[in-house]
Chain A
Amino acid sequence: MALMRRCAPLFARCIKIPPMTLQSQKIHRWVAPTLVELKRREKKLGGKKTNPRNTFLEWNLEAELYAFGKRLNEEFDSDLLLQAFTDRTYIIKEEMKQKEMGVDIPMKDNMELIAEGEKFINEYVQLYLETVLPKFPLEGVNEVRNYLTNEDRLAKISLSLGTKDIILAAEYPVDNYILANTFKAIVAALLESTSEERAAHFVRDFVITQLQGKDVNEYWNIEDPWTMLTGILEKDGSKVEPRLIGEVGKNTLLACYRIGLYVNKKMISEGFGEKIEIAKEMAAREALKRIFGTEDHMKPINFKISGIPKGSSQERYQIASN
C-alpha cells in the first residue's frame, strides 16, 4: 500500500493531462519583462544618450544649408542663413573654447534677425487674418494671431522644416524656445536675402495654413455672448427677442430646451441646451458667429492671397469700447 502511495504521483505525472481550455489566448508575456530589463540596463549605463547629428561622420553643414533652401523652394543668402541658425548659446560656448586655445574668430548670432522676423511675422499674420476674416472683431483676430505665433506652434513648424539638426546651439536636442526663435530668424534672413513678398508667402505657406480645418471661434473665448450680441444689435437700432421654441424631458436628467432668437419677427439663430440659460447662450453664440461671418458652414479660408494684403482694422466692431 505504501509503495502504491509513493508511486501515485509518478503515475499521475505519466498521464498526460489535457489542457482545460483548448484555445488559449496568445499573450506575449515576454514583452513587458524584456522592455523593463532593457530600460534597467540603459539606466545602469547612465541614461539614454542622443548624439548630435552634426557630430556624425556623414555631415556637411554647407550642403545641409544649401539643401534647406532648395527644399523650401527659396533662395537664401548663405551667410545670412548660417547666421539665422547660430544661436546665442553657441556663440558663448565657442568664445570660451577660443579663449582657451588663444584664437579669436568673430561670429554673428541671430538676435537681431529674431527681433526682425518676429515683427514681420506678427504684422503679416495680423494683416492676413484681417483680410480673410473681414467681419471678425479685432479681439478675435488678435487671439487667432496669438495662437498662430505662439512659441509651441512656431517650434512645431520649425521642427517640421528640419531645423533641429542644423541649429548651432550649446545643447542637443534643442528646446522649443530656440526652435521658435530660429524660425523667426529664418524668416528675417529670407526677408533680407529676397523680397518682402517672398518672405510673406513663406509665412503664409507654413504659418497661416495651420488654420486649415480649424474653427477660428475656438481661439477667442467670449465670456458673455448675450451682452455682446445685444450691444451689437442695439448699435444697429434693432432689438433681439429670445423665444422658447421647444422643450423636451422637462424636470428630468435629459432635459433639452431649444431657444430661437428673433429680430423683427425673423429668426436669426437657434441654440439648445439642458437649461434655458445655456440654450440662450448657445443661441447668442450662433448669432454672433453669423454676424462675424465665422459660421460652421463658412467658406474655407483663402490660403492663396499673394503679396501683402491691406488690413481693415478701422471698419470693425469695437467690442472693447462697449
Chain B
Amino acid sequence: MVINGEPHGPQKATTTCQLHLRHFSDGETITVEPFRAAAFGVVKDLVVDRGAFDRIIAAGGYVSAPTGAAPEAHATPVPKRNADRAFTAAACIGCGACVAACPNGSASLFLGAKITHLGELPQGQPERSDRVIRMVKTHDAEGFGGCTNTGECAVACPKEIPLDVISQLNRDYLAAVTHRR
C-alpha cells in the first residue's frame, strides 16, 4: 500500500509487511492508501486487483519447456555474469509499487524485469522476439501507461530492480519490431 504518499512507505528496499512502526515517531499521523493506477482497480479498502500482471506474464513471460522435455541441466553453461543479471531481474515480487509510483501508471519496470530475466539466459532466446512484442501489447491493452524515464519506479521498488531493465525492454522491443523475421 501507499504510506505517507510513498508506495511501501519511507524505508528503502522494504515492503509494507516488513516495515516496523519504530521508523515513525510517537504520535505521528500516518496516511495509508491503496496502490493507485488505472490498471489496478480497488477491490475494497486497501486491496487492489493486480490481475493485469498475471495476464502480462500469460502473454509470453515464460520459457515453453513442457514437463519432461528438459535437457541435462549442465548441457548449457550460463556465464555467471548473465546468471547474476537474470537473478537480479527475477527478484521482482510483482507487488506493483512501480506502477503506483509512476506518474503514468506504467508497468515498464515489472515488464522489463521479466524481459531481462528471460532474455539474459540461453533458455529464453528462442522466444525472445515474440515474447517482448506480445507482452508489450498486453501491457498497453491492460491500461498501463508509457514510460517517460521518470525513474520513480526504481526508487519505490522494494527488491531494488534497476532502471536499466527498462532500457533492456526498449532495446529488445526495437530489435524485435525491426528485425523480426
Chains A and B form a bound pair: no
Please list the residues of chain A having a beta carbon within 8 angstroms of any beta carbon in chain B: none
- B residues contacting A by CB (< 8 A) are none
